[in-house]
Amino acid sequence: MAQVLHSIDGHVATIVLANEAKYNAMTLGMWVELGTLLGRLREDEAVRVVVLRGQGEMAFVSGADISEFEKQRSGAEAIAAYDRAVDQAQSALATFPRPVIAAISGICFGGGLGLALSCDLRYCSPGSRFRMPAARLGLGYAWRSMKSLVGALGAMNTAEAFFTATIYNAEPAQKLGIVQSVHEDVFAHVAQTAQLIAGNAPLTIRAAKLAMIEMRHADQPDASIVDAAVADCFASQDYVEGRRAFAEKRPPEFKGR
């Protein structure tokens, strides 16, 4: 059954895109469900990090479920509705107020690549493969999806990936900036990274994430939002705790306030 699963362990929420029989291809329902779930997690202040992965190890996401296209992506209204669902899910990832990490194993094609590039940090296994196959399918990519690709990879790298529909293995994908690094056990590495982030000062990370959102995604960046978040850091008990812990040579215990 195609669905979006999630679990919360301490301050880390893990989202699993589950359609393993189809290499975790995204159905329309999954796109909608992912956007809705991220909206709920956004309001949960206990969640400091989100990990996004596919079910199993064969695929992160193989793309959109093409078997639905005749019904769900045919005709102007249906195409517009489908594109809205994709855009809302990817935007929910890109603008999530805390760090989002993609743990990529196996296939990461099309819409899966779009999802991965909407995350802040991306790590993959050695056997991962990446592709933007739109030009082999004859479908068009919406403005915001293309903007996201160019923002993450740059214009020339996006042009090569999009125009040629080339399949990139892990090493060239790292060189292109699709992923930060490659790991034999990508899930263990991401779990460790998530815990490291979760142990740091939430307000500091929130301010930094806000700054990155404003710089990368807003047409008219609002520095005052970031300045207010930075002021909250200095006015917080966590700022006091950080200085005390440093002086006492012990790990800090941050509360996010």
What value does the mean pLDDT take over residues 208-234? Answer: 84
Instruction: Give me the chain's average pLDDT, please.
Output: 91
pLDDT at 118: 94
Tell me if 68 sits within 8 A of 27, measured CB to CB: yes
Q: CB–CB of 113/178 below 8 Å?
A: yes
**Band of pLDDT at residue 194, cut at 50, 70 and 90:** very high
CATH superfamily of 3-197: 2-enoyl-CoA Hydratase; Chain A, domain 1 (3.90.226.10)
> Quick one: 184 exposed, middle or buried, by C-beta within 10 A (0-12, 13-18, 19+)?
exposed
pLDDT tens-place string over residues 105-162: 999 999 999 999 999 999 999 999 999 998 888 878 777 778 888 988 899 999 999 9
When pLDDT is averaged across residues 75-92 and rounded to a whole number, the result is 86
Is the confidence at residue 46, as pLDDT, over 90?
yes
Nearest to 117 by CA among 159, 163, 152: 152
Question: Is 70 exceeded by the pLDDT of residue 189?
Answer: yes
Phi, psi for 199 (deg, rounded to 5): -85, -5
Domain boundaries, the chain: 3-197, 201-248
Cα angle 147, 159, 166 (rounded to 5 degrees) comes to 120
Q: Which amino acid is at 195?
A: Q
Position with higher pLDDT, 222 vs 94: 94
